[in-house]
Amino acid sequence: MATILLVDDSPTIRRMVRAALASVPGVDFAEAASGLQALEALAINPVDMMVLDLNMPDMHGLDVLKFVRSHQQSRELPVLVLTTRGDDASREAVLRAGASAYMTKPFSPTALAAATQQLLSSVRSADG
């Protein structure tokens, strides 16, 4: 069973992402409502993938991503950034910081599920 950490300050968005990923086989979810909660969750229970929002009240998602990439145990963690920020500068900054994928809200549930399956299959094949 793969665990995906959903990081978004909106409970509604977290529910929508869960629903969109219900079609992905063999996944379980952990949730964090802030960047700091996400880092705490990662320290306690490693996960197989993270879906990360950028705009959060306590710690910007880009800072979370940079922190994740700076630590050996999470350096290879697939991180899909899911944000309202659709501008080129945000996309480039996030991809430069090491995001595995970038999607904007509103999102297509089918596209999100497909991207998630692709990222998880790369992790599973690397582990296998």
Q: What are the pLDDT digits (tens) for 54-76? A: 999 899 999 999 999 999 989 99
Low-confidence ranges of the chain (pLDDT < 70): 124-128
For 7, the token pair is 């990081």
What is the second-level CATH architecture of the domain 2-122? 3-Layer(aba) Sandwich (3.40)
Taking each helix axis as running N to C, give the angle between helix 35-44 and helix 61-69, from 0 to 180 degrees, rounded to the nearest 10: 30
Give dist(CA 104, CA 69) in Å, integer: 21
Task: Please name which of 121, 89, 99, 84 lies closest in space to residue 51, comparing C-alpha atoms.
Answer: 99
pLDDT of residue 126: 62
Q: What is the pTM of this model?
A: 0.94
Ranges of each domain in the chain: 2-122
Give dist(CA 102, CA 11) in Å, integer: 20
pLDDT of residue 124: 62
Entry field: residues in the chain: 128
What sign results for the dihedral spanned by CA atoms 43, 63, 60, 120?
negative
